[in-house]
Structure 1
Amino acid sequence: MPPASLNGQVAIVTGGAGGIGLGIARRLAQAGAVAVLADLSPAAAEASALALRAEGLQAEAVAMDVSDEAMVEAAVAEVVRRFGRLDILVSNAGIQIVHPIEDYPFAEWKRMLAIHLDGAFLTTRASLRQMYRQGSGSIIYIGSVHSKEASLLKSAYVTAKHGLIGLAKVVAKEGAAHGVRANVVCPGFVRTPLVEKQIPEQARALGISEEEVIRNVMLRETVDGRFTTVEDVAEAVHVFAAAPSNALTGQSLIVSHGWCME
């Protein structure tokens, strides 16, 4: 049975101008939601929203640096002012920086955690206030297989993605009385620009070829040697967004072609 319609609902997707975020926004809009693309680049967000509207979908754009408290508060308040409600938050914005731990610059460690964890907290806090007022809502964090596993060179990323599962569980506990659910989607490697950038970086750091990074690092543990797709991730987000009750909350769903199983 396909997930239920999201007609009349309003969804904020952070990092929504491209990659996984845009794919999620498109899927939610196809299900009937108004997809609000929140992104560090207002021009990119508006261009992507325009493209979705050209497909006949409901999409808007808002500027948001997820690590900036005032900007997050203002952006969420603007969405609520414009639409009168907020039903779905997809906390997707993220970056990747790779270094061996002994050489990991502290400034880059803090930047990683600010975007992934501070950003998830700030957008969650701002969204919960409206969701509590209306007595319903769904928060979906885009984690990673690295919410469950570890890889070389990714100490900050793995730490941050593990942290999202802890945050989701607390939000699920606190939000239940207000009709708010929280869950995590944990993709494997999706061939977005973020992953494309990692391939040569890891090849240099590990002293192997880019082909070996793909075959022996990224896809070695999958059952079929395939990358996870944006559509795979968007499908899982839709399932969580459309869940009809608190029966599905505080959970994490791995979407990784069998790379990680539990």
Structure 2
Amino acid sequence: MKLDNNVAVVTGAGSGIGRQIALTLARQGARVAIADIDMDGASETVEQIRQDRGREAMAVHMDVTNEAEVTESMDAVAKRFGRIDTLVSNAGIQIVHPIQDFPYAQFQKLMDIHVGGAFLTTKAAVKHMYPQGSGSLIYMGSVHSHEASPLKSAYVAAKHAILGLARVMAKEGAEHGVRSNVICPGFVKTPLVEKQIPEQAHDLGISEEEVVNRVMLGDTVDQTFTTVQDVADVAAFLAGFETNALTGQSIIVSHGWCMK
């Protein structure tokens, strides 16, 4: 298989998109570390991988805002599996407010998880990738890495920052054989997105149906949510792509909502 002997670390893989990415990488031959603060969810993902294909997987507790824990957990994965080939920096949260009502502490929390987490996991992963002369850094961006939406000042700022980090890493990593790319999904109907629907309906003064059909899917070509499998398939493709022909790029998975 394309990812045989590939060792992948997926953050936020105890549920949602991260879980589907982990399952998909494992199905293509990878050994996967499920990194999350929700150890029950992480253990469930590991069990699903083992039952699905009998692949080797492990769960590690990783608060992506804690540098010592990130480094320790990444080192534990490398010790267990012998190497690290792929990092999928996926852990994230969503908080929406009009900016005049946005508590700065919540802005900082979101930035710490998305941007700080991407930085710290990258720093810990390349320590193992650079000496082996290969690796793939995959960041979870968003259409909001390119486009803005009301109420999402923190999220849009974070996703733009991740795009910048990935492009820096494409340049820094090239001499070490390490590629760096960003997946930019449109709206994926996960619990994170479902939570936004009533929040945005309240803040925008419209119905939940209008939030879905006009705000979330209004600019797609087919009024369809992106699926977790759509995103996971792109992650597997990027993990297995072996040259710098594809680095520093953002791959937009959005049913045509955003075309770049």
What is the TM-score with the length of structure 2 in the denominator? 0.98
1:53 is aligned, of 50, 55, 71, to: 50
Query: What pairs with 1:139-158 in structure 2 (closer than 5 Å)?
Result: 139-158=137-156
1:23 is aligned, of 20, 23, 27, to: 20
Output the amino acid matched with 1:243: F
1:131-189 deviations in whole A, cap 9, x for unaligned? 00111100000100000000000000000000111000110100000000000000000
2:166 is aligned, of 165, 168, 177, to: 168
1:36 corresponding residue in structure 2: 33
RMSD of equivalent CA atoms: 0.8
1:223 is aligned, of 198, 221, 224, to: 221
Gaps of 5+ in 2: none
Residue 92 of structure 1: CA displacement? Answer: 0.3
1:8 corresponding residue in structure 2: 5
Output the amino acid matched with 1:43: D
What is the TM-score with the length of structure 1 in the denominator? 0.97
Query: What pairs with 1:191-206 in structure 2 (closer than 5 Å)?
Result: 191-206=189-204
Residue 239 of structure 1: CA displacement? Answer: 1.4
Output the amino acid matched with 1:139: L
2:70 is aligned, of 69, 72, 75, to: 72
2:133 corresponding residue in structure 1: 135
1:226-260 deviations in whole A, cap 9, x for unaligned? 00000110111111111121111000010000000
Gaps of 5+ in 1: none
1:185 corresponding residue in structure 2: 183
Output the amino acid matched with 2:158: A
Between the aligned partners of 1:260 and 1:58, the Cα distance in structure 2 is: 37
1:76-100 deviations in whole A, cap 9, x for unaligned? 0100111110000000000000000
Between the aligned partners of 2:213 and 2:44, the Cα distance in structure 1 is: 35
Between the aligned partners of 2:140 and 2:56, the Cα distance in structure 1 is: 22
Output the amino acid matched with 2:76: E
Residue 5 of structure 1: CA displacement? Answer: 0.6
Give the fraction of aligned pairs with identical amino acids, expressed as a percent.
59
1:36-82 deviations in whole A, cap 9, x for unaligned? 11001122201221122111233221110101111101100100111
Number of residues of Structure 1 aligned to a counterpart in Structure 2: 259
1:2-53 deviations in whole A, cap 9, x for unaligned? xx61000100000001100001011111110011110011222012211221
Output the amino acid matched with 1:6: L
Per the alignment, in what secondary structure is the counterpart of residue 226 of structure 2?
coil
